[in-house]
Amino acid sequence: MESTDGRAASAFDGYVEALIEVIGHADRAVPLRDYCTGLMMPVARKSVKPLAAVTAPTRVSAKHQSLLYFVGQAPWSDEALMGRGRDWVLPHMVERGGPITAWIVDDTGCPKKEKHSVGVARQYCGQLGKQDNCQVAVSLSVANDGASLPVAWQLYLPESWLDDPERRQKAKIPDEIVFQTKPQIAIDQIRAALTAQTPVGVALADAGYGADGRFRQELTDMGARLLGRRPADTQRLASGRRAAATQNMEWQRPAAQAGAAQQGSQAVFRQGACRRSAGRCVEDRYMARGDQCRAGVTLCCRATACRFQRL
């Protein structure tokens, strides 16, 4: 009977072979395998040089150059690679954890000391909980009760980078790349996931996305259900009398709110509180269209819990 380590090694080899099929030229197969192997190794930093040292300890310099070229210059499609990863992982994920219940929209900040990495700027970094020098990537992950899987990942480029011709040239940013807000990037990712027929779940998003009227309207137009974290300064208007004991309230934005015409629909939303897990009495306030909540309160709460298991 095959050992647990043997099964894990076999699964890893199968996964890498699936990625190699879409990487293009055969010369990229070895660097891809080495890069993936290095990411699985217990090294503190996952940058190219430490990965070269752990995968080829007797020829670190040559392996470093090989991985550096593969990551930074070799012409392969990140979208094709992520698509193959999605197609490979999703069946196993659903088999073990049940159907997809949530699509998680989020952004991840990576702290940086220097200012030359593409997209680095002083902006909010979730890892640090404050504004600092960092890169930020917008991601879309799918999740069920047991796991989550990133299916889209895009670097956010601040306007300060895209409006600077010298910076663009040094970083080799293509001319066709134009500025997009994080919600705009997320909408493109969701649209691509729908086109790829990715199993659909309730869309979950932080206040930075949920507060964006255009983001909400785009999701509504695509027929997607959204649970967006409620901004702390959100104004609520009661639409009717309710018992004092209830924690739910029908609410909507004032029609006269400044900029309302540019912020999308004025659909009625419902506020609700969901616990992150059964073992923690920590509540998060989310908002969703009232009709969507009435269509499946249990599903909405299950989906909200999925957000906190994102990788």
Residue ending a domain, choose from 36, 57, 72: 72
Q: Report pTM.
A: 0.75
Are 106 and 60 found together in one domain? no
Distance CA 18, CA 269 (A): 43
Q: How far is CA 254 from the centre of its chain?
A: 31
Q: Residue written as tokens 């080829």?
A: 56
Confirm whether 218 is domain-assigned: yes
Are 183 and 303 found together in one domain? yes
CB burial of 143-176 (b: ≥16 within 10 Å; e: otherwise) equals bbeebbbbbbebebbbeebbeeeebbeeeebeee
Mind listing the pLDDT tens digit of every residue in the chain (311 residues)? 567 778 889 999 999 999 999 998 889 999 999 999 999 999 888 889 999 999 999 999 999 999 999 998 899 998 999 999 999 999 999 999 999 999 999 999 999 988 888 999 999 998 898 999 999 999 999 999 889 999 999 999 999 999 999 999 999 899 999 999 999 999 999 999 999 999 998 999 988 888 888 998 998 898 888 776 655 555 555 555 555 555 555 544 444 344 444 444 444 445 554 444 444 434 445 445 444 444 444 555 555 555 555 54
Are 68 and 133 found together in one domain? no
**Do the Cβ atoms of 103 and 307 come closer than 8 Å?**
no
Are 34 and 164 found together in one domain? no
| Residue 178: strand, helix, or coil | coil
Confirm whether 92 is domain-assigned: no
Question: 27: domain range?
Answer: 4-72
Are 205 and 257 found together in one domain? yes
Structural domain total, the chain = 2
Confirm whether 245 is domain-assigned: no
Question: Can you point out the beta strands (E) in 248-305?
Answer: 249-251, 269-277, 280-289
Confirm whether 173 is domain-assigned: yes
Residue ending a domain, choose from 35, 56, 72: 72
Confirm whether 83 is domain-assigned: no
